[in-house]
């Protein structure tokens, strides 16, 4: 009955210590997330998360040792003194492993996979073997190729197809700018509204007859549209960074809960086993 009471007291003390450590870690991880959201680029960097979680992990370990160290030492002393020929210097408890690598691994696992790495792995795959049909050679084949070349339509005098220099595209009343303005999975192209498109088209029709004021209005519209696109991109990046940070927070706290459970079980097992001399 006494051993059951001692085991229950040890378990309650370990549980309370784990709750305090988890609560302290949760508040510290919230502070780390606030610092991460200041610069959205660092949210997807596992090295930054590993460095930022070093401090909370160290305080997590110190808090556990502070709360559970004396309890585990008293329990180990009580169990060890029941055995004969026990050396007093051996009455101690095994130190817990550091929680830093555990939390850093959980944060890295919650981050999205790099698109560049996927593209590199996809490009590294071998392409299917092409058909080994030999290219026709000989006088007859060369004559056929010359005949096909003569049958092609002649190019225009400028050597360019009209409209070939336009890099954008008009899709359902909207202008799609080149994808370089908004790279990544957020947007494949920057889309202007149909009203801006119609305004630009009307301004282009009356531009020869108008004065320089229309050019200023047109430039203002372009700047306004560019500012709207930039604001939209910043909002999308901030939302994506916040979603990643929420996933990282959940993964880190879950890893801390698993680590506390493992430490509690190890402590109970060590206290119940004892050490024979």
Give the model confidence (pLDDT) of 183-231 as tens digits: 444 444 444 455 555 665 665 665 556 566 767 777 788 888 888 898 8
Q: Which domain holds residue 97?
A: 2-111+252-273
Distance CA 47, CA 71 (A): 36
Within-domain flag for 42:
yes
Within-domain flag for 133:
no
What's the whole-model pTM score? 0.56
What percent of the residues of the chain are helix, what percent strand, and what percent coil, each to the nearest 5? 70, 5, 30
Indicate the number of domains in the chain.
1
Within-domain flag for 17:
yes
Distance CA 225, CA 197 (A): 10
The alpha carbon of 263 is separated from its chain's Cα centroid by a whole number of angstroms, namely 29
Instruction: Give the pLDDT mean for 47-64.
Output: 91
Report pLDDT for 153: 54
Within-domain flag for 56:
yes
Cβ atoms of residues 58 and 96 within 8 Å:
no
State the sign of the Cα–Cα–Cα–Cα dihedral 211, 216, 217, 218: positive
Within-domain flag for 209:
no
Instruction: Give the pLDDT mean for 142-146.
Output: 64
Within-domain flag for 28:
yes
Instruction: Give the pLDDT mean for 257-272.
Output: 83
Within-domain flag for 138:
no
Report pLDDT for 18: 87
Within-domain flag for 103:
yes
Report pLDDT for 189: 41
Report pLDDT for 247: 93
């Amino acid at each position: 009955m006494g051993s059951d009471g001692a085991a229950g007291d040890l378990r309650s003390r370990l549980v309370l210590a784990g709750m305090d450590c988890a609560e302290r870690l949760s508040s510290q991880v919230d502070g780390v997330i606030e610092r991460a959201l200041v610069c959205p680029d660092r949210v997807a960097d596992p090295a930054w998360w590993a460095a930022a979680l070093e401090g909370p992990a160290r305080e997590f370990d110190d808090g556990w040792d502070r709360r559970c160290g004396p309890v585990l030492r008293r329990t180990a002393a009580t169990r060890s003194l029941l055995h004969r020929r026990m050396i007093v210097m051996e009455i101690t408890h095994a130190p817990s492993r550091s929680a830093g690598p555990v939390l850093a691994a959980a944060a890295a696992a919650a981050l999205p996979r790099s698109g560049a790495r996927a593209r590199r792995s996809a490009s590294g795959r071998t392409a299917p073997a092409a058909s080994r049909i030999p290219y026709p050679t000989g006088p007859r084949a060369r004559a056929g190729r010359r005949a096909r070349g003569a049958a092609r339509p002649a190019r225009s005098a400028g050597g360019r197809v009209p409209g070939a220099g336009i890099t954008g595209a008009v899709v359902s009343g909207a202008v799609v700018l080149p994808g370089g303005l908004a790279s990544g999975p957020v947007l494949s192209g920057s889309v202007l509204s149909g009203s801006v498109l119609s305004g630009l088209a009307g301004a282009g029709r009356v531009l020869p007859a108008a004065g320089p004021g229309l050019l200023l209005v047109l430039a203002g519209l372009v700047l306004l549209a560019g500012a709207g696109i930039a604001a939209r991109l910043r909002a999308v990046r901030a939302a994506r960074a916040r979603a990643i940070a929420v996933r990282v927070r959940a993964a880190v706290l879950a890893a801390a809960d698993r680590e506390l459970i493992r430490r509690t079980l190890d402590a109970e097992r060590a206290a119940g086993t004892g050490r024979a001399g």
